[in-house]
Structure 1
Amino acid sequence: MSLTIQDLEKMQQQYPDYRMELVQGNIIVMSPSGYESDEVAAAMIAQLHNWVRPRKLGRVAASSAGFRLPNSDLRAPDASFVLAQRLRRSPKSFAQLAPDLTVEVKSPSDNLKELRAKVQEFLALGTKVGILINPDERIVEVYDSGKEVIILRDGDVLTLPDLLPGLEVQISDLWSPEFD
């Protein structure tokens, strides 16, 4: 039985504390991420927000923002960016488009192969750049439509010249700090 967005919305009303996605007619219940992976996602969101907002380039959202994709799936990346001209106002419900940038952060319960497939799905549906952050290995994978995957590590700088010219994120700034 293939479920619809209306089925997901009903289920979401019954279980408001759960994050859910609709993927190929199936509802996926998302478990909470680990603390470290959420802290890394927050660091990435902060970097994006601090670059995008003052320049009025578009919208940055966290993992609860759902996107109704062209294939009718409802997905929620850990972080996302949409160009201002594509989303002039924030929708009350789900954005009816693929974000221009999607970011996934590996949590302890995530499978890298599945995360890479999710990033590829977004790219196939119109996302310009997908980023997969793996705190376990301290690696950032950058998927830019039609280009080779770029692997970044500590000491490298993330740039997105075609999407967010001038943005520079030190990879080492994404990781959870250790306090003495």
Structure 2
Amino acid sequence: MLTLPITLDLKTVNLTDEQFYQLCVTNPEIQVERTPQGDLILMSPVGGDSGNQEIELGADLVIWNRRTKLGKVFSSSTIFRLPNGGDRSPDAAWVELSRWEALTPEQRRKFPPISPDFVIEVRSPSDSLKTLQNKMQEYLDSGVRLGWLFNPKAQQVEIYRLGNVKETHGLPATLSGEDVLPGFTLRVNSFGE
């Protein structure tokens, strides 16, 4: 039996962006990401607890954005083609409106070639913390300005800011969207209780 995620070393294949896009849309039942080095990562689906945690956190972001109309919110099904060459799917993401509107309709329809301004990742039981921390660093290296990595197992959240050192806080916690998401605050209680 295979344990996901699985990383496939495809450096010698060197898929173009269009080939990667076609691979994903032709196989919608498989959640795939691509590293900047060209490796494909086959992701496992999340269970009920993780799916609920993702949508609850994303819902607060959607409510704030509907009120402010400052950008666009994206689900975990969205793959962003990052400037560093990776193709990643955060559990929730937000892009400032003028940056989103600068993309062509074709770019918006496919995998947007843009780094989100804000991302959320929630560690599921099958996720390696180190792998997710590396993914958060990849986001920062691609221009993400603020990111929150929730670790329900440890009852913690790691806060990543462009140009700053990561901070770790225990839960419950009240998080601020700072200057990236003006006026957005999120109160997170303990997970799974």
Assess same fold via TM > 0.5: yes
- Show the counterpart of 2:167: 150
Measure, in 1, the Cα distance between the counterparts of 2:157 and 2:90. Answer: 15
- Show the counterpart of 1:72: 85
- Show the counterpart of 2:24: 12
Q: 3-state SS of the aligned residue for 1:132?
A: strand
- Show the counterpart of 1:108: 125
Q: 3-state SS of the aligned residue for 1:148?
A: coil
Asked if structure 2 preserves the Cα contact closer than 8 Å seen for 1:80 and 1:101, the reply is yes
Q: 3-state SS of the aligned residue for 2:53?
A: helix
For the aligned residue pairs, the C-alpha RMSD in angstroms reads 1.8
Deviation, 1:171, is 1.4
- Show the counterpart of 2:50: 37
**CA shift digits 1:122-172 (9 cap, x unpaired):** 101110011101111221111111223222333420102211122111111
Q: 3-state SS of the aligned residue for 2:109?
A: coil
**CA shift digits 1:72-114 (9 cap, x unpaired):** 2211111101011110277111111100011111011110001
Measure, in 1, the Cα distance between the counterparts of 2:17 and 2:128. Answer: 25
Q: Within 5 A, what are the aligned runs for 1:82-121?
A: 82-88=95-101, 91-121=108-138
Measure, in 1, the Cα distance between the counterparts of 2:54 and 2:31. Answer: 16
TM-score in terms of structure 1 length: 0.90
Give the aligned residue type for 1:36: D
Give the aligned residue type for 1:147: N
- Show the counterpart of 2:3: none
Give the aligned residue type for 1:175: F
Note the residue ranges of structure 1 that are not aligned, 5 or more in a row.
Answer: none
Measure, in 1, the Cα distance between the counterparts of 2:54 and 2:78. Answer: 14
Measure, in 1, the Cα distance between the counterparts of 2:97 and 2:81. Answer: 18
Measure, in 1, the Cα distance between the counterparts of 2:154 and 2:84. Answer: 32
Q: 3-state SS of the aligned residue for 2:83?
A: coil
Q: 3-state SS of the aligned residue for 2:184?
A: strand
Q: 3-state SS of the aligned residue for 1:104?
A: strand
Give the aligned residue type for 1:44: L
- Show the counterpart of 2:9: none
Note the residue ranges of structure 2 that are not aligned, 5 or more in a row.
Answer: 1-11
